[in-house]
Amino acid sequence: MAKNKIKKFNENLTFHNLMQIEYLDLMEFGCERKGKWNTFFKNEHPIILELGCGKGEYTVGLAQKHPENNYIGVDVKGARIWRGAKSSQELKLENTAFIRTKIEEIDYYFAQNEISEIWVTFPDPQPKSYKERKRLISQRFLDIYKKFLKPNGIVHLKTDNLPLFEYCLEVVETGGHKLLASTKDLYNSDIDEEVKSIQTFYENQYLNQGVKINYLKLQLNV
């Protein structure tokens, strides 16, 4: 393992805003903050998740723009999530937290109705059909989100991958979910500026290459 990664993994252990629980401990003891995230943030503000947050660009960016909300970035990659956790501390953001875990395990961290909104930004498209269950807007994952998302809670998706986007539209329709907004060319659409105001590192690369960004916004059928 590269020395730089080891350094980041070790520094992750010192961040007060980064939670890491070993799988066996999570299965046996659960997460002590489940249903009590308001005590960590020391307020009752809405909590918004960024799933597969990578370096946490959305978590950090939205937290800066909206101090009236709390934001939690979730990713399994320690060297990536290190950037978001470190940036949040450097910026002294009190309305951010990060969880290093697999998205499949995310419902162990949150109680019913604890989350107001979810962002899924440029996820792995998992193009092979046998990996459909790994797509973060598959019905399998939407069922997981239902366990902790508030009624009428919002789910956002941004992706450069058109087949994934079209698959997600099918999931919304067949699952009876409510499609609130949809476009295959976000930056040439009349979608509100909030969605366009923060761009990830990879999103900037795609845009510079002339790649169109797909976006959808939905409410789960509860």
Catalytic positions, written as ranges: 124
Residue whose pair of structure tokens reads 């991958």 in the numeric block: 161
CA–CA dist 214, 74 (Å, integer): 22
Exposed e or buried b per residue across 91-122, where buried means at least 16 C-beta atoms within 10 angstroms of its C-beta: eebebbbbbbbebebbbbbbeeebbbbbbbbb
